[in-house]
Amino acid sequence: MQAIKLREDIYWVGVVDWNLRNFHGYTTNRGATYNSYLIMDEKITLIDGVKAPFVEEQLERIKSIIDPAKIDYIVSNHVEMDHSGSLPMLKAACPNAVILTSAPNGLKGLTAHYGDLGYQAVKTGESISIGKRSLQFVGTPMLHWPDNMVTYCPEEKILFSNDAFGQHYASSERVADDAHLPVILAEAKKYYANIIMCYGKQAQGAVEIVSGLELEAIYPSHGVLWSEKHIPTILDAYRTWSNNEPEGGAIVVYDSMWHSTEKMAQAIVEGFTQKGISVKLFDLKENHNSDIMPDLLTSKYIAVGSPTLNNNMLPTVAAFCCYMKGLSPKNRKAFAFGSYGWGGQSIKQVEAELEACGFEICLEAQRIQYIPSKEQLLDLTEKVKAL
Ligand code: FEO
């Protein structure tokens, strides 16, 4: 395993996790990467670790350039274990390295995870010289943990952004290119929707910080790197997503027992379609919650349906509502729907979940007993058209 040269004296020494399909509950259908960067200057510096099981691969790439014992600094931009997991083994291989982490939360977090590995806490605005180059540290707390920071190298005009601007995307290419850009942006959107959506304000702050830097490249810790050509593309995307005010679009999300709630869902889709609103339908038996979130991110309307089972909504719908609520989407219009046999409690329960998300209820909860008639479905379509 060789290091990959990115520019003079700067190497990628990360790993590609080709077969990862679940990242703590988020489906990673295109795998993942844990990027790490080696800067060969007077003070040899490693930016970020990788997930623990991949440490040997990371070390092998480092060894293709330098004896790890010669590393002076390891910058730990983020405590989460997909980046810090290899630190104890790295420290053993790089006994002279000081681990730079954010003050105070990086220091607290790394110490709680690994004990004392020899840390130096750095504050926002602090800069260290590593020879011909310097590294400036900027805290980005709650993007998406309290400890997050990014590292800027002004001499190279590179931002090492860690999770921000990343994607779960395994590839042999290291830099975003035109040919793969639509897929890369789709993965960046999925990453944002599932990891960062609830921290929109912090993401806006990060975009502001980044916009004020002279930049030739952004090197995130997941996925491909952003060259100068594509920096405006990813920054514009983050501006739009973090604004959390979708202009249009709708998603209809449901589960069904005997297809009656499904028929209602299809009638709702028909209503949005006739209204000229782009809409997507998701059956929760077939779609993972994390695969729905990118469309939630850019949809103004959310309709959620469940029949009633044992006085409750279906567990799939409850799980969807729980996952969505945690991500705090804002400024959406929503309504609940469902078929029922006798009690019909589920529909109001779903509506309560939508209210708890802070959504504006734009249509009263739609309930149909047993099997919807053609007339009832037409009526439902008309109600959605009239929204
Ligand atoms: Fe990629 Fe928050 O860790």
Q: For residue range 162-183, list pLDDT tens digits in order.
A: 999 999 999 999 999 999 999 9
Q: Which of 342, 343, 340 has its CA nearest to residue 366?
A: 340
Strands 279-283 and 4-7: unpaired
Beta carbons of 161 and 74 less than 8 angstroms apart: no
255 catalytic per annotation: no
191 catalytic per annotation: yes
Can you list the residues of the chain whose pLDDT is less than 50?
none
How many CB atoms neighbour CB 364 within 10 A? 12
CA distance 221 to 240: 22
Residue 7: what pLDDT?
97
Beta carbons of 318 and 266 less than 8 angstroms apart: no
- Sign of the torsion angle spanned by Cα atoms 204, 205, 210, 213: positive
How many CB atoms neighbour CB 146 within 10 A? 15
Domain boundaries, the chain: 4-242, 250-385
pLDDT in tens, 247-267: 899 999 999 999 999 999 999
180 catalytic per annotation: no
Strands 250-254 and 301-305: parallel
For ligand 1, atom 1: residue with the closest CA: 163
Residue 245: what pLDDT?
87
Residue 247: what pLDDT?
85
CA distance 110 to 213: 28
Beta carbons of 43 and 75 less than 8 angstroms apart: no
Omega of the bond prior to 95 within 30 degrees of 0, cis?
no
Residue 128: what pLDDT?
98
CATH number of 4-242: 3.60.15.10
Measured in Å, residue 28 CA sits from the centre of ligand 1 at 14
Residue 112: what pLDDT?
98
CA distance 266 to 303: 11
Measured in Å, residue 284 CA sits from the centre of ligand 1 at 27
For ligand 1, atom 3: residue with the closest CA: 80
**Measuring CA to CA, how many Å separate 300 from each of 128, 148, 236, 246?**
45, 30, 19, 5
Specify the residue for token string 């993972």. 288
CA distance 59 to 30: 24
230 catalytic per annotation: no
Ligand 1 atom with the smallest distance to the CA of 222 is 1
For ligand 1, atom 2: residue with the closest CA: 80
| Domain 250-385 class in CATH | alpha beta
Ligand 1 interacting residues, C-beta cut-off 6 A: 78, 80, 82-83, 144-145, 163, 221-222
CA distance 294 to 289: 10
pLDDT in tens, 329-371: 989 999 999 999 999 999 999 999 999 999 999 999 999 999 9
144 catalytic per annotation: yes
Strand partners, 26: 23
The structure's pTM equals: 0.96
Measured in Å, residue 382 CA sits from the centre of ligand 1 at 45
78 catalytic per annotation: yes
